[in-house]
Chains A and B, each alone.
Chain A
Amino acid sequence: MRRLLLVCGIALTLSAQYQNNSKPTWIEPRSGETLPEFDAFDDVNGTLGVLNASGPMSTEGHPFFTPLGTNGRACVNCHQPAYGMSVSAVGLNERWRLTDGKDPVFAAFDGSNCPGLPQDQRSSHSLLLNRGLFRIPLSWPPKNADGSPKKVEFTIEVVRDPTGCNTSKDYGLKSADPTVSVYRRPRPTANLKYVVSGGRSIVLKTGMLADVDPETGNPVAMNLMTDAREPSLKTQALSAIMGHEQARVPPSPKQIEKIVEYESQVYVAQAAHIFGGPLVGPGSPAGLGVAALRDHRAGVLGDNDYDQVFGLFKEWKGNDYYRASVARGADIFMFRQFWLRDATHINSIGLGNPLKRTCATCHNSQMTGQDLSAGWVDVGTTNYPTWTEPGSLESSELPVFKITCARDADPHPYLGRVIYTTDPGRALISGRCSDVGSIVMQQLRGLAARAPYFANGSAKTLREAVDFYDRRFDMKLTDEEKEDLVNFLGAL
């Protein structure tokens, strides 16, 4: 009995340490606050842990926390520690309420459905408020490094334009500066040593040269962005400042360096569960929590049964209801076989279609569950008919494009030469028909703090994300298996 009381006491103390309901969670640019080494924020599952591995850090004058452009935004507007270094739809709605839509995160350029819309109306920001999506305007056709137009293998037409942006005479595909607008979630700027590791000279999925870091000349992992368009953290930061912050003057090399230095030492992971208490500490799986992310080696393949993607969860088997469920979820992730079918850059690269495997086949990189090789894959979230949009082409909240592949190009491996899509993904950068709908997979850490999910924000909850996979691959998961997977993902 005494031992039970002691354990409960420790759990309560640790829980209290991770709960801090009173402090503001949204960091405004130029707020000047000092970030502690370890911080904790409430999320839907309990508590998110945020670790600044370099120790406490003043944000005063720091370029990540200072607007460098013309619209009042800084990096932090879209990469908030409280939301896993991304932003959640819940957080954005709260921000709208508190600022009456005046926060720079709602900037007309990309924080609204289209800059030409009346900016004081919620409906003009519906994709950001409902799905956490920012507008990503991409030049069409894509350009080579020297600015010349890239050869593309397909034509693109707008067949549905609920935001008005793709048919706009000012911002659309037929404007003076032809642009395709797609809508995507911001990726977490955390745990980045894992995201940027694993670069190989030749991309396994295409048999072509990987992009190189312009500074070092070394091949990069191409796992940083939804469409892998930026090779390095530095080029990403520069592009984000010139685009999302609408800067007229590029930031200085020193500013870029400071941004990358900050991003490279932030780790986020779930720290505690609302009922289960702390997820880290003695008797907990070694892969959980921010310290594990800080300490683990990057670039390690985890699709094996001896050194798994998120470590072993055997300590929690037969434990309390929640922990046992998480451990079962980890087993489902690693071992539950199903038919992976019609997924470009998985089935099409020599593995066969269908492929009888598990979640960890694709989500194979230790500690984050990204793909260790350049990770763009078409699992069907954006392409009709498997896409995440409810109902027909006409009911999509997102723009719908018709892609028609040239006769001499390789078609999309499973959809052929005419494809309807809400986001052509990698194809908007590569110009390749076979890349239509391929999206770089995301890391699976700090998920509970940053709903909604998928690059198009279509899954409001982890359960909806699991339901998509269950439908898409006919996994035949039971309700208990789905709950276990949700608990497992929410503990990461």
Chain B
Amino acid sequence: MRRVWFFGLFMTVALAQQRNFVSCPIVRDTKTVPCFLAEYDGELYYLGIQQDITSEFHPPQLKHEVLVEGRIAAGPRICGGIPLQPVSISVVKEVNLACNTLLPAEPGIDAPPAPRGAGPSSRRVEGPSGPREPLTGQHEFTVLYAFNDDYLEFAANGVVSEAAAYAKRIGAKNVKVAGYRATSVLSNGNSLVEKAGLAEKRAQNIATLLGGLGVSNVAVESKAEAEAGDGQTDPSRRRVTILITP
């Protein structure tokens, strides 16, 4: 009974720190790179800064609303907004011309240090980091997506390439691709469900990529129903898994 009570308390606290909402992004220029923010329920939240294609954070876009799913992080405001970290960003596909706020740089509002500034890169291309423990045995790779999207972002692109390389290296007997779609629970209590057919489309796309990368015998399945959301871990369920068995 006590365990149930603690779990309930934990969930309540966790949800209190969670902010899931759809709104227009706001871009705040600074003397370095721009900050991306969004407003919800009268409060301004900091999402991240402009970086490059290899970064984990992919900024939202003006002319589009954005689904923000993030947790309030400790620390001071950044660029005027309460920081959300981790944060998942999903650009709503339909154009919304009302989303057009670009604020000028102001003294005293600075972006956090950026690995790459707004000009050309200063970073030298690094060689591969130390030797990695080679994968062995059965292994599952997970490809994550933005909400209602089947576009393969840069990082996901790398996951598929790595999975293909592994399957070929071990001469995999079975490669099973499974696609899912999910539900996002918003902070206002509403839910957003990814569109029908998306799980199958995601899975088929990944299977096509694996085939093109030289992996044969790829079995494809997808779960037609959207998985339920919990308001905390929803981005992790928008996925395709690639199960590789030697």
Q: List residues of chain A with CB under 8 Å of any chain B CB.
A: 201-202, 204, 206-209, 212, 301, 303-306, 308, 334-335, 337, 339, 341-342, 347-358, 360-361, 410-416
Contacts and interface: CB of A to CB of B under 8 A. Distances in A.
B50 A207 contact: no
B209 A202 contact: yes
B191 interface: no
Contacts of B15: none
Q: How large is the interface on B (under 10, 10 to 19, 20 to 34, 35 or more residues)?
A: 35 or more
Interface in B120-161: 120-125, 150-154, 156-157, 160-161
16 contacts: A202-B160, A204-B53, A207-B157, A208-B205, A209-B209, A305-B120, A305-B122, A337-B118, A339-B102, A350-B53, A350-B59, A351-B59, A353-B63, A356-B34, A414-B63, A416-B94
Nearest to B124: A306
B157 A202 contact: yes
A306 B125 CA distance: 11
Interface in B22-56: 27, 29, 33-34, 36, 50, 52-53
Contacts of B58: 350-352
- Output the residue of B119, B154, B205 with the most chain A CB within 10 A: B119
Contact of B119 (A209, A335, A349): A335
Nearest to A309: B120
B157 A204 contact: yes
Contacts of A305: 119-122
A356 B119 CA distance: 8
Nearest to A202: B157
- Output the residue of B60, B102, B122, B212 with the most chain A CB within 10 A: B212
Nearest to A414: B63
A352 B120 contact: no
Contacts of B102: 339, 354
Nearest to B93: A410
A411 B93 contact: yes
Contacts of A208: 152, 205, 208-209
A354 B120 CA distance: 16
Contact of B121 (A209, A303, A342, A352): A303
Nearest to B102: A354
Contacts of B60: 352-353
Given A202-B209, A413-B61, A357 B118 contact: yes
B213 interface: yes
Interface residues of B, dominant DSSP = loop
Contacts of A209: 208-209, 212
Given A207-B151, A208-B152, 7 more contacts: A201-B212, A207-B153, A208-B208, A209-B209, A350-B154, A354-B27, A358-B120
A235 to B, nearest CB: 18
- Output the residue of A341, A349, A353, A415 with the most chain B CB within 10 A: A353
| Pairs A-B, 10 closest by C-beta atoms | A207-B152, A352-B59, A353-B61, A350-B58, A209-B212, A356-B118, A416-B95, A304-B121, A305-B120, A337-B118
Nearest to B197: A408
Contacts of B93: 410-411, 413
A351 B119 contact: no
B62 interface: yes
A212 B211 CA distance: 13
- Output the residue of B61, B102, B123 with the most chain A CB within 10 A: B61
Contacts of A202: 152, 157, 160-161, 209
A337 B32 CA distance: 10
B34 A354 contact: yes
A62 to B, nearest CB: 37
B161 A201 contact: yes
Contacts of B212: 201, 209, 212
- Output the residue of A209, A347, A350, A413 with the most chain B CB within 10 A: A350
Nearest to A353: B61
A419 to B, nearest CB: 11
- Output the residue of B94, B95, B122 with the most chain A CB within 10 A: B95
Nearest to B27: A354
Contact of A335 (B52, B120, B123): B120
B95 A352 contact: no
Contact of B53 (A201, A349, A358, A410): A349
A337 B117 CA distance: 10
